Structure 1
Amino acid sequence: MIGTKTFEVFPSVDIVDGIAMTSNSAIRLTRGESATLRRPLGTPAEVALAWQNAGAKWIHVVDLDAASGRGSNSHLIADVIEAVDINVQVCGGIRNEEILSRVLATGCQRVNLGTAVLENPEWCARAIGEYGDKIAIALDVRSTPEGYQLATHGWNVNNGKLWDILEDLERQGCQRYVVTDVERGGMMSSPNFTLLSEVCAKTSSPVIAGGGVSSIDDLRVLADMYDQGVEGAILGQALHIGKVPLEEAIAATRTPKAQAQRG
């Protein structure tokens, strides 16, 4: 099942300390690395509006402070939603009903749950049942000698076998997954296409590629995986540093060949 009629590019707004930053610097800052790594892009609302003006239909907002337990930027997420006229999906630190209700109250169209899948699985199952398509599950994956593991708490902790967790989520009726190889997120080392294919083979729900896009060619490969179940890709670091302009990224996934494949 594919949720969108065309492959979508999701430009990201990565928030740390109340500021939108490049994906790589945001991730490294939340891991405790030097503050000299700060690479600000502007306020979250300013950055989101720029992505809308460049043609985006969705914005992917990451509250890295919430994900790593450093705080919450829900008021800035509300500012983003007020500033744009397009869809917004939010992730980062959504681990219980109180936080979920607060984030949904911002008016976002979708939230991604990650750490909660392991820390609060019964609540997560209820949220999937109650909110349906407004919930996506973020499968943040790290390859280990024991196989694929989920990386939680802002990617800082390995916790749980991917395929066992995916099997549980399928039984619960999860309607969408955001799949990221955490060794590639923010690193522009190309997505883990093999991992994406393996996840798609185990679910009929749509999958969004969550990180690693380094080029227009990467996006073309992902768009060609649409019929496998990959409905879109999050575009972060390569967009933030100007390597992949958003207009070109969107155009590359709207080619006649790609459209013909989607019927």
Structure 2
Amino acid sequence: MIIFPAIDLKEGQCVRLIEGRMDSATVYSHDPGSTARAWEEQGAEFIHVVDLDGAFAGQPRNRESIIQIVQAVRVPVQVGGGVRDLETVADLLAIGVNRVILGSAAILNPDMVAEACQRYGDRVLVGIDARDGMVAIQGWGETVQRTAQDLALEVKSMGITRIVFTDIRRDGKLSGPNLAATGELARASGLKVIASGGVSSLEDIQAVKDLESDGVEGAIMGKALYAGAVKLPDALVIARGEG
């Protein structure tokens, strides 16, 4: 299982939010490149980046910070937040991003998602963010009448093989991930699933790892790492089955 340290970008700074609310931002670093390098030095195999300003604006707002991160590390980087067109996908891949995450576009422009899959294969993921089981888009500001499971099956038909699933109610609150919903989504969709939202302890990491046979292949960690509740090397021991 892969542990993805998260770098959430707001105005060029590394922050964490609670339930995606921009007014709840806590700044952890003013240097995204150094933050990414620190995670790599602690053993990270993949970095997860979210352009928060981009998610709300509908187009990337932290491109320079993303370039800093990509250039600072040797491990692959995946990026989401405000990616709504093929030009943005192509640009992110061109600057060295390994995988691009499409979120709201899966609802607003499914034809673009299908085209991105056709062009770039598994370098394109879909992020499915749910509040009480229903999909939220536009920086989590709008909830649509579509369940996470329905959307997962739809994007699978477009060619998507991997999704990031976030339970918004758990995000940034250190309250534990929604294991039941994550496992159910993986089993029902047959997609590879990366769990996000609320992973806050070594016990949580073990619980997510226990879902590997269902198709859950990773966990994104943010606040727990930044707050020191979990040390990345300890998390990696469990994720690799060495504990």
Asked if TM exceeds 0.5, the reply is yes
Identical columns (%): 36
Deviation at 1:131, TM superposition (A): 1.1
Deviations along 1:102-137, one digit per CA (max 9) or x if unpaired, are: 222221110110000011111111112221110111
Superposed, 1:41-120 pairs within 5 Å as: 41-69=29-57, 72-120=61-109
Segment of structure 1 superposing worse, 167-176 or 86-95: 167-176
Deviation at 1:189, TM superposition (A): 1.0
Equivalent position to 1:24, from 1, 11, 17: 17
Q: Which residue of 2 aligns with 1:261?
A: none
Distance of 2:78 and 2:131 partners within structure 1: 23
If the length of structure 2 is used for normalisation, what is the TM-score?
0.94
SS of 1:68's equivalent in the other structure is: helix
- In structure 2, give the amino acid aligned to 1:67: A
Structure 2 residue 172 is matched with structure 1 residue 186: yes
- Greater fraction of residues in strand: 2
Structure 1 residue ranges, 4+ long, deviating more than 6 angstroms after superposition: none
Q: Which residue of 1 aligns with 2:162?
A: 176
Q: Which has the larger radius of gyration?
A: 1
SS of 2:96's equivalent in the other structure is: coil
Q: Which residue of 2 aligns with 1:260?
A: none
Q: Which residue of 2 aligns with 1:155?
A: 140
Structure 2 residue 215 is matched with structure 1 residue 229: yes
Structure 2 residue 159 is matched with structure 1 residue 165: no
- In structure 2, give the amino acid aligned to 1:91: G
Structure 2 residue 238 is matched with structure 1 residue 245: no
Distance of 1:256 and 1:100 partners within structure 2: 36
Distance of 2:176 and 2:18 partners within structure 1: 18
Corresponding pairs, count: 241
Deviation at 1:27, TM superposition (A): 3.5
Distance of 2:139 and 2:210 partners within structure 1: 30
Q: Which residue of 2 aligns with 1:10?
A: 4
Structure 2 residue 24 is matched with structure 1 residue 39: no
CA RMSD of aligned residues (A): 1.7
